[in-house]
């Protein structure tokens, strides 16, 4: 091979590889925990200070029973872990966890403090394999396709505790052009999201389109936990599944 | 004169009290507003304005509550007010 043709080949290969390298360098996708631990968290706003271990909470044990709306809209659990001002008396009064963990719908708090205050983020992860065996598989996160199961009626999580919400009126699917021309547009379906969350979960606090439009929903900001990253980094299917949002994109 | 006073007292006792935000039971009203969030995009501007007014009125009742109930309602009403305002603004002047 001549020097010139070798150079041409090298330039051609660089042209193919460089965008991918740049993309990978700029958008370092987060490392994911194991499926059993995905969506698990420790609530320690005041537990350690109060002399007890933090509360271990796993989303996967709750998602078959309740939609996100129940806890995050009706019970007003903040999306950011550790920011909800909850204490023992609130639970006793039937607020927050106490809305269900009252000994009737779910185990109560009486003499059961240590069952939740374990300080172990992997608590009950040994039960995950049995739990997920019959569920629709997915590639990332819990490796469970929650939305597919909802569509098929395999799970019917409750969407309210106190007052049934009216039927959702807005089911528009948005198409958002990517900043990089080589990346297919992102597709956002309101319908699928309405099944899990309330309108006020996202609007206007997380997504204020009127104020800034949609151009600023960049991957860099999403990876920092803004916008879609609020849910799709640690609880909903992770953004590592590029083609879920950018149909046609190959990894 | 005595009969006049008696008459006035009778009218005052029997006169129905006007309805205002202070007589609305908090929890049913709170739940009723909560259920409207999902259909906010289907509502007309006058309906949204009414919801916004009800939301704002209910916020003035929060001092009657205490503890976690007050905290939770405060957060939720703030978000509901923000949502209804947001949807109303988008209907009155749609984004380009």
Question: B18-33, pLDDT tens digit by residue?
Answer: 444 455 689 999 999 9
Question: Could you tell me if residue A26 is inside a domain?
Answer: no
pTM of the model: 0.82
Same domain, A60 and A114: yes
Same domain, A121 and A170: no
Binary contact (B86, A210; C-beta < 8 A): yes
Same domain, A68 and A117: yes
Question: Could you tell me if residue A30 is inside a domain?
Answer: no
DSSP chain B: -HHHHHHHHHHHHHSPPPP-GGGS-HHHHHHHHHHHGGGGGGS-HHHHHHHHHHHHHHHTTGGG--HHHHHHHHHHHHHHHHHHHHHHHHHHS---
The reply to whether ipTM tops 0.90 is no
Structural domain total, chain A: 2
Question: Could you tell me if residue A201 is inside a domain?
Answer: yes
Domain that holds residue A207: 166-245
Interface test with B, best of A200, A206, A207, A213 (most B CBs within 10 A): A200
One pLDDT digit (tens) per residue for chain A, 251 residues: 565 677 766 665 555 555 555 555 457 888 999 999 999 999 999 999 999 999 999 999 999 999 999 999 999 999 888 899 998 889 988 999 999 998 898 988 777 788 899 999 999 999 999 999 999 999 999 999 999 999 999 999 999 999 899 888 899 999 998 887 788 999 999 999 999 999 999 999 999 887 777 778 889 999 999 999 999 999 999 999 999 999 988 76
Domain boundary among A76, A109, A132: A132
- Is residue A23 a contact partner of residue A223, using CB atoms and an 8 Å limit? no
Residue A67: CATH number of its domain: 3.90.10.10
Question: Could you tell me if residue A70 is inside a domain?
Answer: yes
**Residue B45 neighbours by CB under 8 Å, 6+ apart:** B88, B91, B92
Who among B35, B87, B89 is closest to A166 (CB)? B35
Same domain, A46 and A128: yes
Same domain, A198 and A127: no
Q: Does A212 touch chain B (CB under 8 A)?
A: no
Binary contact (B39, A74; C-beta < 8 A): no
CA-nearest of B78, B43, B28, B49 to A166 is B43
For A191-205, letters b (16+ CB in 10 Å) and e give eebbbbbbbbbbbbe
Binary contact (A200, B90; C-beta < 8 A): no
Question: Could you tell me if residue A25 is inside a domain?
Answer: no
What are the sequence ranges of the domains in chain B? 27-96
């Amino acid at each position: 091979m001549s020097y010139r043709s070798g150079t041409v080949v090298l330039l051609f290969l660089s042209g193919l590889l460089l965008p991918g390298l740049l993309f990978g360098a700029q958008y370092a996708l987060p490392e994911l925990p194991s499926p059993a631990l995905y969506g698990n968290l420790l609530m320690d706003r005041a537990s350690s200070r109060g002399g007890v271990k933090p509360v271990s909470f796993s989303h996967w044990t709750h998602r078959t029973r309740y939609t996100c709306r129940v806890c995050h809209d009706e019970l007003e659990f903040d999306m950011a872990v550790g920011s909800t001002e909850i204490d023992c008396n609130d639970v006793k009064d039937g607020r927050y966890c106490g809305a269900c963990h009252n000994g009737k719908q779910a185990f109560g708090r009486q003499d059961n403090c240590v069952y939740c205050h374990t300080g172990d983020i992997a608590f009950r992860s040994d039960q995950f394999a049995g739990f997920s065996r019959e569920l629709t598989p997915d590639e990332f996160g819990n490796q469970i396709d929650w939305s597919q199961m909802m569509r098929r009626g395999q799970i019917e999580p409750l969407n309210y505790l106190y007052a049934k919400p009216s039927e959702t009126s807005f089911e528009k699917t948005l198409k958002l052009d990517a900043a990089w021309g080589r990346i297919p547009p992102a597709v956002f379906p309101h319908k699928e999201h309405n099944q899990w969350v309330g309108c006020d979960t996202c609007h206007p606090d997380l997504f204020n389109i009127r104020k800034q439009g949609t151009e600023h929903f960049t991957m860099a900001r999403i990876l920092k936990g803004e916008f879609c990253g609020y849910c799709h980094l640690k609880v909903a299917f992770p953004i590592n599944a590029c083609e879920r949002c950018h149909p046609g994109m190959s990894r | 004169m005595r009969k006049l006073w008696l008459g006035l007292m009778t009218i005052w006792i029997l006169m129905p009290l006007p309805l205002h935000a202070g007589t609305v039971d908090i929890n049913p009203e709170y739940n009723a507003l909560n259920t409207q969030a999902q259909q906010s995009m289907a509502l007309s501007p006058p309906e949204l304005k009414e919801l916004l007014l009800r939301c704002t009125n209910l916020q003035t009742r929060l001092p009657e509550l205490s503890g976690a109930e007050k905290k939770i309602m405060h957060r939720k009403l703030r978000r509901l007010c923000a949502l209804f305002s947001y949807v109303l603004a988008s209907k009155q002047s749609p984004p380009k």
